């Protein structure tokens, strides 16, 4: 859903809304009518100063500097025949109109150049952020410790900044370990924070038998950055060997969903835990909860870019309700594809925030 212009060309101007296009067209028509009346009407007055609006109109909706420049010079040329047609109008009026057209043309052209340059710089920064983000978020293996996995990352609309959603799925000595999180903030700073969180998780998940200790180490790594300025909501899930329940540590994140035989269950945390980097402020420790995750069950982890998507009436996307109404599937890939299609249809084709979905299915042994 993101869009990046070619490196060699100027940024593409956003398409004007229908009403704006009609208003610009009406302004051009009025300008043309004024010139025609001036050439064929009473020679005692003139519309030549109105020609100064031409380069302004031409600069609307374009990122090409030559458009207002050419239109403005054309308007300047028209001042001469108007001066010839309106011989009773003082020449000083036409000279003033000509200088006004020239000045407005220069300003309009300079404005287009400035806007295009700034948009190009912003788009280049976004491209760097997106490249870093795609490198950071590695696709998980399709099969992992008796699980089938699938992930979808939805970039927000082109005008939104790159977000800090993150996910991971690892095979460890303690079984599969999953992570989905959301960094407060946007852009390169959020991606830098996500890199620290993922790096700590990837290392700690391999050596710490207790999932709560993994979360504690991630919190400590975050707290060493800029205490009080950043935090990350995250949910950690561990799926041990066959016959054992799954475990979860929820650090201020949205509750995972389990889809079992057409029913959708939220995996709630009896004791709410704070986001990463805030544990020291509230005291205590992270709590590990267990929940039933049986063969054939589908587990869905997600970020708030999914549940905060809105329809035309401003209503949030009811993920659990929509999930419960979907046909039975056995493949996580099919499930996330259906959710993505339904989500985009609900939100009108684009999202206001990045969104991540990680689905896993426990296979029978």
95 pLDDT exceeds 90? Answer: no
Instruction: Give CA angle at 361 (356, 363), nearest 5°.
Output: 160
pLDDT digits over 226-270, tens only? 654 678 999 999 999 888 999 999 999 999 999 988 889 999 888
6 pLDDT exceeds 50? Answer: no
pLDDT of residue 262: 80
Distance CA 317, CA 323 (A): 11
pLDDT digits over 172-230, tens only? 999 999 999 999 877 667 778 888 899 999 999 999 999 999 999 999 998 887 654 67
pLDDT of residue 227: 52
157 pLDDT exceeds 60? Answer: no
Distance CA 167, CA 145 (A): 17
- Work out the pLDDT band at 3, boundaries 50, 70, 90: very low
> Tokens 């039933």, residue?
292
Rg (CA), the chain: 30
Helices (H), 208-278: 211-223
Which residues on adjacent β-strands are paired with residue 169? 178
Q: What percent of the chain lies above the pLDDT cut of 70?
A: 88
Which CATH architecture best describes the domain 138-362? 4-Layer Sandwich (3.60)
pLDDT of residue 4: 38
pLDDT digits over 291-305, tens only? 999 999 999 999 999
Among 18-27, 229-238, 257-266, 273-282, which is the least confidently predicted range?
Answer: 18-27
Q: For residue 335, what are its two tokens?
A: 């499930």
Q: Are 362 and 294 in contact (CB under 8 A)?
A: yes
Average pLDDT over all residues of the chain: 85
Distance CA 135, CA 168 (A): 13
Q: What percent of the chain lies above the pLDDT cut of 90?
A: 41
CA atoms within 13 A on the CB side of 118: 5
Distance CA 338, CA 351 (A): 16
Residue-wise burial string across 155-179, b where 16 or more C-beta atoms lie within 10 A, e elsewhere? bbeeebbbbbbbbbbbbbebbbbbb
What contacts 288, CB < 8 A, 6 or more positions away? 210, 211, 212, 247, 248, 249
Instruction: Compute the 3-state secondary structure of the chain and give helix, strand, coil in percent, each to the nearest 5.
Output: 45, 20, 35
Distance CA 223, CA 193 (A): 11
134 pLDDT exceeds 80? Answer: no
Q: Are 256 and 233 in contact (CB under 8 A)?
A: no
Its pTM stands at 0.68
Which residues on adjacent β-strands are paired with residue 248? 237, 289
């Amino acid at each position: 859903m993101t869009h990046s212009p070619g490196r060699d060309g100027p940024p593409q101007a956003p398409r004007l809304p229908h009403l704006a296009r009609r208003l610009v067209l009406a302004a051009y028509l009025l300008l043309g009518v004024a010139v025609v009346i001036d050439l064929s009407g009473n020679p005692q007055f003139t519309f030549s100063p109105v020609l100064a609006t031409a380069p302004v109109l031409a600069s609307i909706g374009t990122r090409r500097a030559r458009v207002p420049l050419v239109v403005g010079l054309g308007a300047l040329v028209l001042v001469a025949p108007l001066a010839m047609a309106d011989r009773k109008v003082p020449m000083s009026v036409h000279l003033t109109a000509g200088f006004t057209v020239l000045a407005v043309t220069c300003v309009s052209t300079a404005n287009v150049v400035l806007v295009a340059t700034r948009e190009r710089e912003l788009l280049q920064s976004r491209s760097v952020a997106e490249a870093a983000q795609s490198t950071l978020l590695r696709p998980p293996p399709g099969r992992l410790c008796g699980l089938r996995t699938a992930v979808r990352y939805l970039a927000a609309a082109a005008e939104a900044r790159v977000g800090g959603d993150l996910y991971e799925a690892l095979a460890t000595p303690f079984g599969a370990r999953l992570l989905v999180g959301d960094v407060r903030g946007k852009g390169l700073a959020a991606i830098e924070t996500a890199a620290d969180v993922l790096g700590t998780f990837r290392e700690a998940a391999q050596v710490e038998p207790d999932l709560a200790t993994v979360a504690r180490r991630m919190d400590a790594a975050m707290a060493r950055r800029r205490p009080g300025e950043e935090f990350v909501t995250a949910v950690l899930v561990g799926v041990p060997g066959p016959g054992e329940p799954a475990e979860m540590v929820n650090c201020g994140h949205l509750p995972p969903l389990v889809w079992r035989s057409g029913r959708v269950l939220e995996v709630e945390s009896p004791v709410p835990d704070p986001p990463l980097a805030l544990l020291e402020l509230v005291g205590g420790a992270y709590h590990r909860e267990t929940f039933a995750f049986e063969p054939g069950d589908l587990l869905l982890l997600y970020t708030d870019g999914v549940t905060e998507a809105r329809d035309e009436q401003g209503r949030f996307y009811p993920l659990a309700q929509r999930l419960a109404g979907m046909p039975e599937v056995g493949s996580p890939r099919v499930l996330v594809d259906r959710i993505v299609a339904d989500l985009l249809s609900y939100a009108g084709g684009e999202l206001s925030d990045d969104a991540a979905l990680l689905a896993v299915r426990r296979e029978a042994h």
